[in-house]
Amino acid sequence: MLIYLGLYNFLLLVSLILSLPFIWKKIRPDSEFSTGLKERLGIYDRETVEKLKRQKNIWIHTVSIGEFLSITPLIEHLRCENKNNIVVTFATKTGRGVAEKKIDSITYLFFPIDIYPVMRNAIRKINTKLIVIVETELWPNLLYIANRQNIPVVLINGRVSPFSYPKYKKFRFFARKVLPLFSAITMRSEEEAEKMIYLGADKNKVKVVGSMKFDLAYEMSKTVHPEKVREILGIEKDRRVVVFGSLHTAEERPIIEVAEKLLKKFQDILVVIVPRYLDKTNVYNLLKNRGMYYTRRSEIPCNKKCSVIVVDTYGELNNFYAISEIAFVGGSLYRWGGQNPIEPLAFKKPVLYGPYHWHFKEEWQKIREGGGGIEVSDYEHLYNESVRLLENPEECKRLGEQGYHTLLKNIGATERNLKILLCFTGN
């Protein structure tokens, strides 16, 4: 293990040194990224260090805001069941910024670079009692150091997609050294659990618990009230809403073409477009060039003549799912792997989804088999199915009810994960 770890640290350090000329603009002292750089090097301000010293902490790492949101019910349960402070780390600035507005009384930090001295210092400063990794991320130094210090590390909501599995297999020789260092691993499905065991995980430590995203959607549906959402947004009660959510940039132009055709056919609908990356989107120019009148969510309430709303804020997609007639979930009509298709189910809305969905393969299979969603092969198919559903309100209702039933059948993963984590917290 030490030989592999030494080689890993050497290669990682060399790659960071070689990339410095390309990332200097982001890490120079006067840049907005400089504070994040210090935390990524395991350097924390005095106030944070003093706070973390007071008691042992549960350190939870999530890469993005999507992963964080999926475990918010788990975090709430941990705070109720466990008196220890919770530290959440992020890889992205956007994820951290959104998370800080969701749950208070939590310490939010950037994830430290997985170089041995940096990670050893971070584990010591964070004063860790338990480390929880969300979904599938392997950080050799973190695992090795935690193992040496008898700190349990648990991987939860693990997944091994068909896209990533061949890549993992190429480094199976290394994975077989690293994966046994986890104290426990929870996977979404039997198929993914078998893949993880083949890659080197201890089969006695691997449990299949399902996807926590079903739990998140269910819990979220209790707090979002469609009538109130419409009132806040200034959208008439009888106006039908079609949502195109989590669109990647490659999907924006063809989706806008679909939206334009729908608006010509149905005079009573309002189209809601939700870009996945607000800093990269070209939606505004595309709409303007086609002469499509739109307003931004930040400018709501909108003029009644508005036919398109572009959501230019974070964390509000579910509000629009709640008032929608039908919802398309993006990242699935080009080779990205799909975004979360579960959330519309919580509001009994039919889901339209493309064929590229390996990030949510198991979840989508359950939705489709339960009759709550329709898989579309391309943009023309998306348009035709949208027309069919809009012309058949009873079919929309039937699909929505079936989708909600599927959601209810698959909740419980949060509770199962919680029981496993509490085994390592002394509670």
Range from 102-106, 211-215, 349-353, 402-406 carrying the lowest mean pLDDT: 102-106
Arithmetic mean of pLDDT over the chain = 90
Question: Residue 41's domain is classified under what CATH number?
Answer: 3.40.50.11720
343: DSSP letter: G
pLDDT, one tens digit per residue, over 83-120 is 668 999 998 777 788 788 888 788 999 999 999 999 99
What is the rounded average pLDDT of the residues 15-41?
Answer: 66
Q: How do residues 194-213 score in pLDDT, each as one tens digit? A: 999 999 999 999 999 999 99
Q: Which residue range(s) make up the domain with 288?
A: 219-409
Determine, yes or no, domain membership for 20: no
Per-residue pLDDT band for 304 (boundaries 50, 70, 90) equals low
Number of domains present in the structure of the chain: 2
Number of helical H runs and strand E runs in the chain = 20, 14
Q: What does the pLDDT read at residue 187?
A: 95
Looking at residue 266, its pLDDT comes to 96
Same domain, 195 and 224: no
Same domain, 266 and 199: no
**Which of the pair, 150 or 302, is modelled with greater confidence?**
150
In this structure, the answer to whether residues 417 and 397 fall within a common structural domain is no
Q: How confident is the model at residue 30 (pLDDT cuts 50, 70, 90)?
A: very low
Residue 15 lies in a domain: no
State whether 242 and 369 are in the same domain.
yes
What CA–CA distance (Å, rounded) separates 59 from 119? 13
Residue 235: inside a domain? yes
Is 50 exceeded by the pLDDT of residue 214? yes
Task: Please check whether residue 326 lies inside any domain of the structure.
Answer: yes
User: Phi and psi (nearest 5°) for 251?
Assistant: -95, -10
Q: In this structure, is residue 7 part of a structural domain?
A: no
Contact yes or no for 349/403 (Cβ under 8 A): yes
Residues 285 and 224 in one domain: yes
pLDDT exceeding 90 applies to what percent of the chain?
A: 66
Residues 286 and 342 in one domain: yes
Q: At residue 16, what is the residue type?
A: L
**CATH code of the domain in which 234 resides:** 3.40.50.2000
Residues 232 and 196 in one domain: no
For the chain, state the CA radius of gyration. Answer: 23
Instruction: State both tokens at 220.
Output: 């979220």
Same domain, residue pair 240 and 133: no
Binning pLDDT at 50, 70 and 90, where does residue 365 land?
very high
Does one domain contain both 164 and 245? no
Average pLDDT over residues 224-246: 93
**Does the residue 12 lie in any domain?**
no
Has residue 369 been placed in a domain? yes
Q: What is the DSSP letter of 105?
A: S
Report pLDDT digits (tens) over 110-160: 999 999 999 999 999 999 999 999 988 889 999 999 999 999 999 999 988
Q: Is residue 427 part of a domain?
A: no
77 and 176 share one domain: yes
- Whether the predicted pLDDT of 174 surpasses 70: yes
- What was the pLDDT predicted at 111? 93
- The full 3-state SS of 43-87, as one line of letters, equals CCCHHHHHHHHCCCEEEEECCCHHHHHHCHHHHHHHHHHCCCEEE
Does 126 share its domain with 273? no
**Together in a domain, 224 and 344:** yes
208 SS3 class: strand
What is the predicted pLDDT for the residue at 82? 63
State the pLDDT at residue 113.
92
How many angstroms separate the CA atoms of 278 and 156, rounded?
Answer: 29
